[in-house]
Structure formats: structure tokens, C-alpha cells
Amino acid sequence: MSLLEPTALAWLGILPVLVLLWRTRLRRTPARVSAGFLWERACREARVDSFSKRLQANLLLFLQLLAALALGLALARPSLPVVSGSAAEMALLIDTSASMGARQDGSTRLEVARGQARRLIREAPSGAQILVASCDRSARVLLPFTRDRSAALRALEDLEVREVAADGQAGWALAASLLASRPEVEVFLMGDQPPQTPPPSRLTWIECGGTAANVGLVALRAARDHDGTFPLVVGVRNYGPRPEQRELELRRGGVLLAARRVGLPAGGRQTLRFRLPASGSDLVEARLLGSDALAVDDRAWTVLPRRATLRARVVGPGNLFAERALAAIPGLVLTRSEHPAGEGLAMWQGEVPWPLPPGVHILLHPPAAWRRGERLDQAFTLQPERAPLLNEVPLADLGVAGVTPLNLPPGSEILARAGPHPALALVRQGPATALVLAFDLYRSDLPLSPALPLLFANLVESELGGGRGPVDPESVPGQPLEIRTMEPVWVQGPDTSVRLASEAGRAILPDPDRTGVYQVRVGEKAWPVAMNMLDPRESDLATRRPAPRRARPGPAPTSSSQRSGVAEFWPWLAGAGLLALLAEWLVDQRRRRPERPQDRTP
Amino acid sequence: MGSLLEPEFLAWLERLRVLAGRTPTSSGPGENRSPARGRSAEFSEHRDYRPGDDFRHIDWRAWGRLDRLFLKVFVEERDRTLSILLDSSASMGAGGPGAPEEGAKFDQARRLAAALAWVGLGDLNRVGLGLVRDHLVQWHSPVRGRPHALELFRLLESARPEGRTDLTTAFRQYAARSKSPGRVVVISDFLQPGAGIEALRLLRYRGEELLVVQVLHPTELAPQAVGDLRLVDVETGSAREVTLDARLLEAYRKSLQNLCDELSAWCHTQRCSRILVRSDADLQPALLQLLRRGGLVR
């Protein structure tokens, strides 16, 4: 609520004057009576000392104050911003991100937004086309433009809060595209995170929910120490305007490990450190006890880092330098095998079966299908390209010889060149990925530098996840969950259980929208994935001011396109003031002219 | 005072025949019959002689015939005494809140007292007059005959309503001054806790025949004032701030009604007459009612 004429509040200064005048008026007229004891008795019987009697005695003052207050406030012209939908086309974009689940005054922000949307639908003119869309990390049209209001209301009922962080641009982009494609559309964006750029004239921002106190987890991280224990860090932040005290519980595999009381000043943050023993479950949960406006950030999970175990097979006669470089990778177990297929990494020395079997390969000799000629005896200096796989790999100025000219298939990534010829390349063909060394390793400087083990380590890290498993142990809701596997995958989440097929070596859970622990099962093995909502933008429930609307030059909007404004309710206040004055007059008259007692002679 | 008893009013009083009471008592002989036995010409009865009786009243003829001693008993004739006790405390000069004039109640009371005295004296009764507050302020011993009326009127004229009320003390002092019980007219507002019943009971125990006259101001019966007032008791000086509204007025009326009912009930049980007179009422009908209810007119 705002006041259009706040200076008029000065009229409220009449209130103390009224009280002063009333006190002056209460100098009572003395009256001599013959029987004071009878009046004492009557007062006791009528209970004139009771609160209600005193209230009645001051009823006139109360009514006068009420009238003055109402009229003073009416002069200040209080108003409330209102939005009304009267467009022929109306698009309702409703934020469904995690913060919309914040509960204030018994209802969530989404319920508030839903109520606003319902009102807009009810007030829309007959024949208006209505579109209902939700937006959080991405925008989704739930109901295309339709004249069916009941369908629009049903679409509203189907809206649910998704425990994902909002991407302000998602709803904004949908709104912009609607505004651009439909000149008559009016867009209403309902949420709790206003656009930071001034909205255009046909877009109306409706804020749902105000400032609310909230304490949330902001970090949960674990590492593995050299002695096998796990240092763990938990971050807690108070987003509210007042100091808060909360209990933090730490559980490992469901078993309570620690509980601490966390005192947080207003807006303050605290970091708590724990050290977990080596043995036990890999799954750790941090939980803030008690309740606040937003529950989704009161729990977080983490998966303790496992010791990496990765198998690498050497197929063929092998190469001493390459084997040494692979063996230097921590957790990697090198074996010899003649079997061309299998999980993990395969290093080929000699001829390679064609086409390549699925998996990750290191080809020390290029396949015949890619060769363009015989080996060259000429020596070259390696010229590395800018590629993620060459991160921290010192290839520059290294000399190589015995380069085989290659005709690489499309989509191949050349990592380094020897003169005009590709010397080092990453080739992806279907489910197979191959790092190709097109030179003779024995006739190069690579074994003399750390470049080779670093290159292999980068390959293992990027393509095999460093041996930690087919899936990253931590993710965030709303982000596709990618599982590196050739086999079908079962994913079981807090409220989902789905079987995913592998395609091109990857299975993807496209849109996980719940926090919690997801179990990814590949064959007989299972990997937990912690899905946490630790986003300060969602946890901070303070009201944010929208960017002011820019005044647009041009004609003023017509009444049919006037969607938003203010509702002044000074007439109601003025009416209430006049009613109070009328009541005061009636009460005064009634007191001046009491019922004439009948002449009853005792 | 002269203005209170106009010649027309006195002429009207002359037409009344006042009886001083059905069982008059007086310390001296008079012309009214008395239930007391004594010396007079009218024989009443015989009774057995008992040692100590006056030999002079022995019926010697009966002794001669019956050989027994009988005593002749005669009806004793005494004066009838009417005592008028007028409350002259401050409350008699006041009224309820908003009373337009002060003193109306006391004026009415002393007009009543004067009229009673005038009628009583005109019927050859002995009439005494006392002014009471918290004690017996003044007491004019009973006198007989119209010539004494002026003394009583002067006493009434000089009376002023002031001071506090204590009827019990005043009546006790009256009892000490009065020689024998007779008819007592008490004129007061009886606006005191207990309605003065304790004091009336004192007189009743003494054998007085009581006539209770309660004089009230119209503003006491139905207060007209409203709003915020500071009520000051004229006798005690205690003050109370009140807001007079319909509810409080109703409670007051109920309290007054209870007080009057209490007084009326006591009078009924004691077979006394009790009359309520408004201070603004016409005196002649009020006095006629008083005389009739009190059995003072034949």
C-alpha cells in the first residue's frame, strides 16, 4: 500500500488535539444531591467502574478519533497496486522455481500467483485467448492460446513448484517472443524475482510474496584425505533480517554423526568443519532442524569421493613409454588383454579392429582406414592446438618423427600438428572415442617430458570421469543428468524411477526437478548422485525491487489496454469517517435525550 | 411562613375534625377518652381488691351484699398529645441532580408540619414540635390551644435545613424529653441507609403511635440531569464522578424504590401509616390524604 498524498497525514495531528479537548471537557459539572449513598449503590449495581462502562463513557471520544483517523487517512489517498486483465490475448507466465514454494501466512508464493492468475482469467473479457506457461530454469507452455477458460484454470491447478533455480532470462525470453509475435498480447509475469531490466509496456510484473525469514544451507563439500578420512565443510547462511538459531544435524548413511547449534546474525553466514572417518557409508546428509519459510534449502547431501578404480587394457605388444605413462595415473590398473572389447580404456599397439569397438581407445598406430601414405622420416616440431584435452600438457617445441599422414574422418579434433600433418587427434566415431598418435613414440621427445602422462590423465578425466564412475556424484536440479555408459541405466530419484537407454555412450535424465539422492544403477553397480538446491538466489526471500518501467513516448494507452494501476480506497475511508461522525452524533443525541422515566412513585 | 398558610387554607383546615389518635395518651387529664384506668366520673368495671389498692375505690355496697371486697374502676380521661418531628438536615434542602431549586422539599415539609400543628391545636390537643438532624436540635414542649400556634410557626420559620442526619440519636433525645408516649408524626425524606427504620423502631418500642411522612423532591424520584456530573452529597460532602445515562438512572431508581419499599414494609408490619409527599404536590390533597391515612380526621 502506498500513499499518493503523504503530506496529508499531517491532518492526523488533530488526534491529540481531540484528546486534549476531551480531557478539558471532562471537567464535570458539580451537582448537589441529597442521597449520595443511593448513587453509590446505583453505580455499584450499574458497574460504572467496569471496563465496558468506561469504554461506553469514552465512546464519543473513540468515535471522534475514529472519524478523524479515517478522514485523515482518506486525505492521504492510500492506494494499492492492482492489475486487471482486459486484453483480447493474455499470456500468464508463472514462476515455478524453488523459491515459489516459500510459505508465508499459510500459503505458498505459487498459490498466491495462482490466485492472481485465476483473478486475471475471471476478469478477462469474453472471447479472450489465454496462454498459461511456467518458467523456472526454462520456460514451458502448459496451455497454448485458448478461449477455454476452464482449461486455463485446470492448467493453473496443474502447476507445481519445481525444486530448481530460476533462470530469469527463460521467462523473459518467452515473454519477449510473445510480445514480438503477437501485437495484441498482454503478458503477465508472476513470480518473486522481478526482471532486472525495465519491462516493456505490455508486460506486467506481478510480485507474489514479500520478504520472509529463511535460513538455508549454502555449501556441503567433502574431500578425501591421504589417511582415508574425509574433511567435510558445511555452510549455513541466514537470509533473514533477524538473528537466528538453528540446529544442524549431520548423518552418514542415515546414522547421526554430529549435531550442532548454529547461531547466525542477520544476513550472516557460518562455515562448520567436520572430519568423517574412513569407514562407513559414502552418503552424507546435512539437515537444518526447525522450520522456516523455505524447506528445500534445509537439506543437502554429498557423496564422499571414492577411491578411483579404472582398468586399462593393453592390446598387442604394447609400448613401454605409453604403459609407464598410463601406470602413473592414480588408481589405474593396467592389464594385458587380447580381447578387443571391454569397459574402461584400451591402448592399442599395432593393428586396430575396424570399426572401433565402443569405448575409449589410445591408438599408438593409426588404423589403415585413415592412413594417406607411408610414414615420413622427416622430423617435425609439434604445434599444439587450443583444446581442453591439452590443458597443462607441455607439447610445444617437442620433436617427433615417423609421422603417418592421415585422412581423419569428419568430426575429428586435431590436437597437435607435425608440420602440415595431424600428429595428435581425438576422433569420435559412434560410441567409440580414440586418441590417435600419428607418429612413432620411440622417435619423439614425448617420453622425455611429462606431456605424455598428463595427456593420458586428461583423457581419462574427460572421457571416463577420472575413474569415479559413469556419473558425477553431485548435480543440481534442473540440469540434465548425464551418465557415461554403454548399457541401459535405471535411475531412481526421490519421486522418479526411470529406465534410460544409452545413446552414443551416454544416457541422459533430462530434467530432474527434485532435490535428494538419485541412485544410478548400471548393471549390478550403483552410484549415488546428490542433487542439491544450494542457490542463494532461491534461498534469499527478501523482496527485490523491479527495474522501473521506462516511460515510452507516444500516445497514452487506451482504456482497453490499461492493465495495471492503483486502486484508491479513500472514498471508503471517507465514508467510514462520515459514518463514525454520524454514529457519534447519534450516541450524543441519545445521551442528551435519555428515555424519560415513567413517574413511578415508590 | 405566613405565605405558606394562607387564610383560605386555614379556613379549609377549620372544617376538619382532628382526632389526636384512637388510643391517646397524655400525662395530664384531658377531654379525650383513654384506655388507661383512673379517676373520672365514668364507671368502667369491678375487679377484686388487691392489697395496696386505694381504699377509696372499694365498693362498700357490694361488700355489704356479697361479703367480698371489690374495687370500682373508672375510665381515665387524658389530653391527646401530637408530637411533630421534622427532619431539618441538609438533605431536606436538596434534591436530586439537576434540581432547579433548593429548599422546595423542606418548605413542603414544614408547611405540612404547620398544617398538622394548626389542626391539632384546633382540636384542643396538645401539640409538640421538634426539629431533628443528628440530634434533637430544638424541642417545643406540647402546648394546647390556638394561641400557641404562633410559637410553633415561628419555630418552623426559623428552621434551616443543614447538618447531617442521625434520626436514632435525635429520637433517643426526644424520648428523653417526652414524658409519655402519644402520637408522633415524623416528617423526613428518610434518605439514609436503612431508611431510618432503626430510629422509628425506637419510637415504636416506646409505645408511640407513628405516622411516617416521607417528603421527596421530583428530581429525587426521577432525576432529569444527564451527562458527566460530579455528584456531591450535601450532608457528607463526599463526591463521585458519574456519567448519567439511562442505565445508571434506572439503577438509581431501583435503589430508591428498594429503600422506599423497605420503609413501607416496616410501617406495614408495625401498623403505622406511611405517606409519600412530593415537594411539588398541591398541599391540600396531600394533607387530606395525610389526615385520612393517619386517622386524624373523622
Cell triple for residue B279? 415537594
The answer to whether residue A299 scores a pLDDT higher than 90 is: yes
The answer to whether residue A552 scores a pLDDT higher than 50 is: no
CB contact under 8 A, A602 and B259: yes
Q: Which of A56, A597, A599 sits opposite B249 (nearest CB)?
A: A597
What ipTM is given for this predicted complex?
Answer: 0.75
Most confident of A248-257, A300-309, B265-274: A248-257
- Higher pLDDT, residue A463 or A381: A381
User: Which CA distances in Å does B73 have to A55, B36, B39?
Assistant: 77, 10, 8
CB contact under 8 A, A42 and B95: no
Give dist(CA A97, CA A167) in Å, integer. 9
Q: What is the pLDDT of residue A422?
A: 92
On whether both B74 and B85 belong to a single domain, the answer is no
Cβ neighbours of B248 in A, within 8 Å? 42-43, 46, 48
pLDDT digits (tens, 9 = 90+) for A155-164: 999 999 999 9
Give dist(CA B279, CA A601) in Å, integer. 13
On whether both B85 and B158 belong to a single domain, the answer is yes
The answer to whether residue A216 scores a pLDDT higher than 90 is: yes
Q: What is the pLDDT of residue A131?
A: 93
Residue A581 to chain B, least CA–CA distance (Å): 19
Query: Average pLDDT, whole number, for chain A?
Result: 83
Q: What is the pLDDT of residue A597?
A: 47
Q: Which of A37, A594, A599 sits opposite B226 (nearest CB)?
A: A594
The torsion angle over the Cα atoms of residues A316, A322, A328 and A329, rounded to 10 degrees, is: -70
| Inside any domain, residue B96 | yes
On whether both B66 and B90 belong to a single domain, the answer is no
User: Which CA distances in Å does A113 have to A110, A165, A205, A533, A548?
Assistant: 5, 17, 11, 22, 21
Nearest to B247 by CA among A553, A105, A6, A56: A56
Cβ neighbours of B193 in A, within 8 Å? 37
Residue that finishes a domain, picked among B59, B78, B97: B78
Cβ neighbours of A29 in B, within 8 Å? 227-230
User: Which CA distances in Å does A160 have to A113, A166, A455, A513?
Assistant: 11, 14, 47, 11
Q: What is the pLDDT of residue A461?
A: 82
Q: What is the pLDDT of residue A375?
A: 86
Cβ neighbours of B96 in A, within 8 Å? 33-34
Q: What is the pLDDT of residue B117?
A: 86
User: Which CA distances in Å does B12 have to A38, B17, B97, B292?
Assistant: 38, 11, 35, 15
On whether both B37 and B160 belong to a single domain, the answer is no
Range of B148's domain? 7-24+79-293
Alpha helices in A47-102 (DSSP H): 51-57, 59-75
For chain A, give the percent of residues with pLDDT over 70: 88
Query: Average pLDDT, whole number, for chain B?
Result: 79
Cell triple for residue B210? 407513628
Q: Which residues of A touch B (CB under 8 A)?
A: 25-26, 28-43, 45-46, 48, 56-57, 591-592, 594-595, 597, 599-602
* In A162-268, beta strands by DSSP E: 185-191, 203-207, 215-222, 230-238, 244-252, 255-264
Mutation for B interface: A21, A26, A34, A600, most B CBs within 10 A: A34
pLDDT confidence bin for A27, thresholds 50/70/90: low
Residue B275's closest chain A neighbor by CA?
Answer: A602
CB contact under 8 A, B240 and A32: no
Residue that finishes a domain, picked among B78, B99, B119: B78
| Inside any domain, residue B1 | no
Q: Do residues A415 and A384 make contact, with C-beta atoms less than 8 angstroms apart?
A: yes
Residue A19 to chain B, least CA–CA distance (Å): 16
What residues contact B7, with CB distance under 8 A and at least 6 apart? Answer: none
Residue B93 to chain A, least CA–CA distance (Å): 8
Q: What is the pLDDT of residue A558?
A: 35
| Inside any domain, residue B269 | yes
What residues contact A78, with CB distance under 8 A and at least 6 apart? Answer: A1, A2, A3, A4, A568, A569, A570, A573
Count of domains for chain B: 2
Nearest to A442 by CA among A544, A323, A311: A323
Give dist(CA B117, CA B143) in Å, integer. 10
Nearest to B152 by CA among B124, B133, B128: B128
Residue A29's closest chain B neighbor by CA?
Answer: B229
Q: Which of A28, A38, A56 sits opposite B241 (nearest CB)?
A: A28
pLDDT digits (tens, 9 = 90+) for A79-134: 776 655 556 889 999 999 999 999 888 889 999 999 989 988 888 887 889 999 99
On whether both B173 and B53 belong to a single domain, the answer is no
| Inside any domain, residue B124 | yes
Cβ neighbours of B98 in A, within 8 Å? 31
Q: What is the pLDDT of residue B297?
A: 60
Cell triple for residue B199? 430510629
What residues contact A297, with CB distance under 8 A and at least 6 apart? Answer: A98, A214, A216, A217, A218, A533, A534, A535, A538, A539
The answer to whether residue A29 scores a pLDDT higher than 80 is: no
Residue B280 to chain A, least CA–CA distance (Å): 13
Q: What is the pLDDT of residue A529?
A: 92
On whether both B189 and B71 belong to a single domain, the answer is no
- What's the whole-number mean pLDDT along residues A430-434? 84
Give dist(CA A69, CA A48) in Å, integer. 28
Cell triple for residue B133? 438532624
Sign (positive or negative) of CA dihedral B40, B46, B47, B48:
positive
Q: Specify the pairing of strand A29-33 against strand B227-233.
A: parallel
Collapsing DSSP to helix, strand or coil, A519 comes out as strand
pLDDT confidence bin for B79, thresholds 50/70/90: low
CB contact under 8 A, A36 and B238: yes
On whether both B14 and B58 belong to a single domain, the answer is no
| Inside any domain, residue B115 | yes
Residue B2 to chain A, least CA–CA distance (Å): 27
On whether both B133 and B223 belong to a single domain, the answer is yes
What residues contact B3, with CB distance under 8 A and at least 6 apart? Answer: none
Residue B252's closest chain A neighbor by CA?
Answer: A42
pLDDT digits (tens, 9 = 90+) for A369-422: 888 888 888 889 988 888 888 888 898 889 999 999 988 888 889 999 998 999
Q: What is the pLDDT of residue A455?
A: 92
pLDDT confidence bin for A219, thresholds 50/70/90: very high
On whether both B287 and B157 belong to a single domain, the answer is yes
For chain B, give the percent of residues with pLDDT over 70: 80
Residue A28's closest chain B neighbor by CA?
Answer: B229
Residue that finishes a domain, picked among B37, B53, B78: B78
On whether both B215 and B171 belong to a single domain, the answer is yes
pLDDT digits (tens, 9 = 90+) for A512-528: 989 999 999 988 888 89
| Inside any domain, residue B56 | yes
Alpha helices in A471-563 (DSSP H): 536-539
Residue A594's closest chain B neighbor by CA?
Answer: B246
Maximal CA-CA distance, chain B: 88
| Inside any domain, residue B2 | no
- What's the whole-number mean pLDDT along residues B276-288? 82
What residues contact A524, with CB distance under 8 A and at least 6 apart? Answer: none
Residue A544 to chain B, least CA–CA distance (Å): 55
Cβ neighbours of B245 in A, within 8 Å? 56, 591, 594
Q: Which of A38, A46, A591 sits opposite B256 (nearest CB)?
A: A38
Q: What is the pLDDT of residue A83?
A: 58
- What's the whole-number mean pLDDT along residues B106-128? 83
Residue B241's closest chain A neighbor by CA?
Answer: A28
Residue B204 belongs to a domain with what CATH number?
3.40.50.410
On whether both B33 and B153 belong to a single domain, the answer is no
Burial bucket for residue A67 (CB in 10 Å: 0-12, 13-18, 19+): buried
CB contact under 8 A, B228 and A30: no
Q: Which of B228, B245, B259 sits opposite A38 (nearest CB)?
A: B259
Q: What is the pLDDT of residue A264?
A: 92
Cell triple for residue A350? 599395432
pTM above 0.80, yes or no: no
pLDDT confidence bin for B13, thresholds 50/70/90: low
Residue A44's closest chain B neighbor by CA?
Answer: B251
Chain A / chain B CB contacts < 8 angstroms: 132
pLDDT confidence bin for A260, thresholds 50/70/90: very high
On whether both B257 and B139 belong to a single domain, the answer is yes
